[in-house]
Amino acid sequence: MGKTLAEKIIDAHLVSGEPIPGREIGLRIDQTLTQDATGTMAYLEFESMGIPRVRTERSVAYVDHNTLQSGFENADDHRYLASVAAKYGIWYSRPGNGICHQVHYERFGIPGKTLIGSDSHTPTGGGLGMLAIGAGGMDVAVAMAGGAYHLPMPRIIEVRLTGALRPNVSAKDVILEVLRRLTVKGGVGAIIEYTGEGVKTLSVPERCTITNMGAELGATSSIFPSDEITKEFLAAEDRLGDYRPMKADADAVYSETVEINLSELVPLAACPHSPDRVVPVSELAGKRVDQVAIGSCTNSSLSDMTKAASVLRGKVIADHVSLGISPGSRQVLTMMTEQGLLNDFIDAGARILECTCGPCIGMGFSPNSGGVSLRTFNRNFLGRSGTKDAEVYLVSPETAAASAITGVITDPTTLPPIEKPKLPKRFRINDSGIIPPLSEEEAKEAEVVRGPNIKPFPKGNPLEKELTVPVLLKVEDNITTDHIMPAGSKILPYRSNIPKISEFCFSVIDETFPRRALESGGGIIVGGENYGQGSSREHAALAPRYLGIRIVIAKSFARIHAANLVNAGILPLVFIDPADYDWVEQGMTVTIHDIRESLEKGTFDLKAAGRMIPLKAELAPRQKEILLAGGLLEYAAAR
């Protein structure tokens, strides 16, 4: 029986387990990446393992999230990251050099390799034919130390593409169509593999837009074959030596197949506040727009900027619209300068923001009150833009640019067709923004610099035998990590300071949660389906843990968050009968006996208001041991 591309890469990296969907496997990891908002924790965790140098083929520390530096905190973090990278054999991408995922596929990604990154959009690298997976910081720390990365073997979903996109329809519309069909839960436990003749019509940056936003499907990863188009791209990056062809066997078997005819797609938009609330742009046409933002790891390539510039050229944005662009990397920015595109934007009235995540994570450029913001980004969760009552729509660069000019949501296919951008023969390569690590000899003397914002990682303690605690919070389906541990310019600077950041835990939903949790000495949280979707931030587990949460009960969990809870020593339990969710109320006191024995068995009884509610733990044996030890670091230290 033939193999899918994902299975081939998994087979070549398998160190433990059997690749049967749902069973835990361990993979050898070739490359890691971190960004600054999750990286400080990941490196503190790595340092605590006492290993002198990373054991991966390539590890890179990017600074792209926390770059406002409105106090000493971000700058402290940057110094720490630069020094820890230099000492331990990690490449350091300076602030301003670009967004991790964009820079990684430009300069480091290699077809057929495995990559894990402490950022949920790490699967962007799948556009180059790598198996790239988002993970919590602790898992990345373990991989840097040479340990395997463990995950449940995903099922492989095929998305077969036929036809070719019509002018002014974009790669973004492809992934929005997949989201429309599969929803934010549709990819949970799966790798999305793109096949079919349509693949050949998409450039590497377009493929990366699609794999990037596979994270919003809840997918473990997304992957395209590595072919002549990949080869051309790597050659233009002066990395032809990294090319190898990779594809699925012709008789590969997939768990399901979704067919998309690219020729039939129309411009799409995801409506507030979820990436799967997708409708045709034409249905929204005429709605007044206050703000337009072009950038983020989804749509900030030279190709994206070229498309937006082609729409804007010679025009001026509407008086009431504020347009901001954040090119994905310095390479993109310098190519834009060389090709005159930057002037197209400036002349049209755009604001030029830094080559960072910026507005995507609420680091500046927040919309006005009640504002309508069109963004080429990947997430439009409530409050993420920094303005709680803003309405954020996710669209393609073509739709964004067209709407900036007219001042109302505009279907770009109603405008004259723009030319498909050509891949440059050679990109402008200048790696001055990337600092290589010190040699092993030099590293021995090197010191790691820690400012006062870097607080030690709080210690965990072994799992209790039994708990009688209040239900501190009950939330609905699809709660995101942006609800649990919000980001934005006020909170992100505390990513290296768990006690401080915990004060903001769940603040979008209930500002009293941290105080109540501390006052009652802990408790449990009850959630609906897909609890913890979205980002990889382990702070969404570390903060609740710091506040005394030992158990989260939900109808189902998102993959990375479930792993982060276990790593932080919090037990994720699932209702055996989802209807029992209705029985458990916020404020109730509940009891769980024999926690340690129940963990062995995998089933638990929750006593709530005179009733016994059966729960289960969907955990691998290794994860049970981690929980018994009180968390991954405690578990690793004990070995």
Could you list the residues that contact ligand SF4 (CB under 6 A)? 65, 99, 119, 121, 296-297, 357, 360-361, 378
Look-up: residue for tokens 């009950």? 474
> How far is it, in rounded angstroms, from Cα 569 to Cα 561?
12
Minimum separation from the CB atom of position 618 to ligand MIC (A)? 22
Q: Is 273 in the site for ligand MIC (CB under 6 A)?
A: no
- Judged by beta carbon, residue 270 or residue 573, the one nearer ligand SF4 is 270
| Per annotation, catalytic residue among 36, 76, 77, 119 | 119
From ligand SF4, ligand MIC, none, interface partner of 303 (C-beta below 5 to 8 A by class) = none
Q: What is the DSSP letter of 303?
A: H
Q: Is 533 in the site for ligand MIC (CB under 6 A)?
A: no
Minimum separation from the CB atom of position 131 to ligand SF4 (A)? 19
> How far is it, in rounded angstroms, from Cα 352 to Cα 512?
38
Minimum separation from the CB atom of position 289 to ligand MIC (A)? 23
Asked whether the beta carbons of 50 and 44 are under 8 A apart, the reply is no
| Per annotation, catalytic residue among 13, 58, 59, 65 | 65
Q: What is the dihedral of CA 20, 25, 28, 33, to 10 degrees?
A: 110
Instruction: Give the count of beta carbons closer than 10 Å to the beta carbon of residue 228.
Output: 10
- Report, in angstroms and rounded to the nearest whole number, the Rg of the chain calculated over CA atoms: 23
- Judged by beta carbon, residue 17 or residue 433, the one nearer ligand SF4 is 433
Minimum separation from the CB atom of position 64 to ligand SF4 (A)? 6
Q: Is 300 in the site for ligand MIC (CB under 6 A)?
A: no
Residue 628 amino acid letter: L
> How far is it, in rounded angstroms, from Cα 195 to Cα 83?
42
Strand, helix or coil for residue 553: strand
Among 535, 567, 598, 623, binds ligand MIC (CB under 6 A): 535
Minimum separation from the CB atom of position 361 to ligand MIC (A)? 5
Joined tokens for residue 250: 């012709």
By CB under 6 A, which span of 83-91, 119-127, 140-148, 569-577 interacts with ligand MIC?
A: 119-127
Minimum separation from the CB atom of position 526 to ligand MIC (A)? 23
| Residues 84, 234, 126: CA angle, nearest 5 degrees | 70
- Judged by beta carbon, residue 246 or residue 302, the one nearer ligand SF4 is 302
| Per annotation, catalytic residue among 30, 36, 64, 304 | 64
Q: How many residues at the interface with ligand MIC, by CB under 6 A?
A: 14
> How far is it, in rounded angstroms, from Cα 297 to Cα 377?
7
In what helix (H) or strand (E) does residue 82 lie, and over which residues does it extend? helix 72-88
**Residue-level length of the chain:** 639
118 among known catalytic residues: no
605 among known catalytic residues: no
- Judged by beta carbon, residue 171 or residue 541, the one nearer ligand MIC is 541
Q: Is 183 in the site for ligand MIC (CB under 6 A)?
A: no
DSSP per position, 422-485: PPPSS----GGGEEPPPPHHHHHH------TT-PPPPPP-PPPS-EEEEEEEE--TT-BHHHHS
In what helix (H) or strand (E) does residue 603 lie, and over which residues does it extend? strand 603-608
Asked whether the beta carbons of 325 and 351 are under 8 A apart, the reply is yes
- Judged by beta carbon, residue 401 or residue 487, the one nearer ligand MIC is 487
3-state secondary structure 474-530: ECCCCCEHHHHCCCCCCCHHHCCCHHHHHHHCCCCCCCCHHHHHHHCCCEEEECCCC
> How far is it, in rounded angstroms, from Cα 331 to Cα 14?
35
Q: Is 536 in the site for ligand MIC (CB under 6 A)?
A: yes
Alpha helices in 270-412 (DSSP H): 281-284, 302-312, 330-338, 341-348, 397-406
Among 217, 234, 332, 361, binds ligand MIC (CB under 6 A): 361
Q: Are strands 58-62 and 91-93 parallel, antiparallel or unpaired?
A: parallel
By CB under 6 A, which span of 137-145, 285-293, 534-542, 613-621 interacts with ligand MIC?
A: 534-542
CA distances (Å), origin 560, targets 147, 218, 297, 528 = 18, 9, 19, 16
From ligand SF4, ligand MIC, none, interface partner of 573 (C-beta below 5 to 8 A by class) = none
Minimum separation from the CB atom of position 122 to ligand MIC (A)? 8
Q: Please report, as residue ranges, which positions from 120 to 149 form the binding site for ligand MIC (by CB under 6 A).
A: 120-121, 134
Among 37, 44, 156, 161, binds ligand MIC (CB under 6 A): 37
| Per annotation, catalytic residue among 101, 180, 483, 537 | 537
Asked whether the beta carbons of 145 and 49 are under 8 A apart, the reply is yes
By CB under 6 A, which span of 164-172, 184-192, 531-539, 567-575 interacts with ligand MIC?
A: 531-539
Q: Is 168 in the site for ligand MIC (CB under 6 A)?
A: no
- Judged by beta carbon, residue 121 or residue 207, the one nearer ligand SF4 is 121
By CB under 6 A, which span of 45-53, 221-229, 412-420, 529-537 interacts with ligand MIC?
A: 529-537
Q: Is 406 in the site for ligand MIC (CB under 6 A)?
A: no
Burial classification of residue 160, based on how many CB atoms lie within 10 Å of its CB (0-12 exposed, 13-18 middle, 19 or more buried): middle
Q: Is 119 in the site for ligand MIC (CB under 6 A)?
A: yes
- Judged by beta carbon, residue 119 or residue 344, the one nearer ligand MIC is 119
* Contact mark string toward ligand MIC, 563..592, x via CB under 6 A: ------------------------------
DSSP per position, 98-160: B-HHHHHHHHT--TT-EEEESSTTGGGGGGGT-EEEE--HHHHHHHHTTPPEEEEPPEEEEEE
Q: Is 537 in the site for ligand MIC (CB under 6 A)?
A: yes
From ligand SF4, ligand MIC, none, interface partner of 278 (C-beta below 5 to 8 A by class) = none
Q: Is 38 in the site for ligand MIC (CB under 6 A)?
A: yes
65 among known catalytic residues: yes
Beta bridge partners of 169: none
From ligand SF4, ligand MIC, none, interface partner of 94 (C-beta below 5 to 8 A by class) = none
| Residues labelled catalytic | 64-65, 119, 379, 535, 537
Residues that bind ligand MIC (CB under 6 A): 37-38, 65, 119-121, 134, 361, 379, 487, 534-537
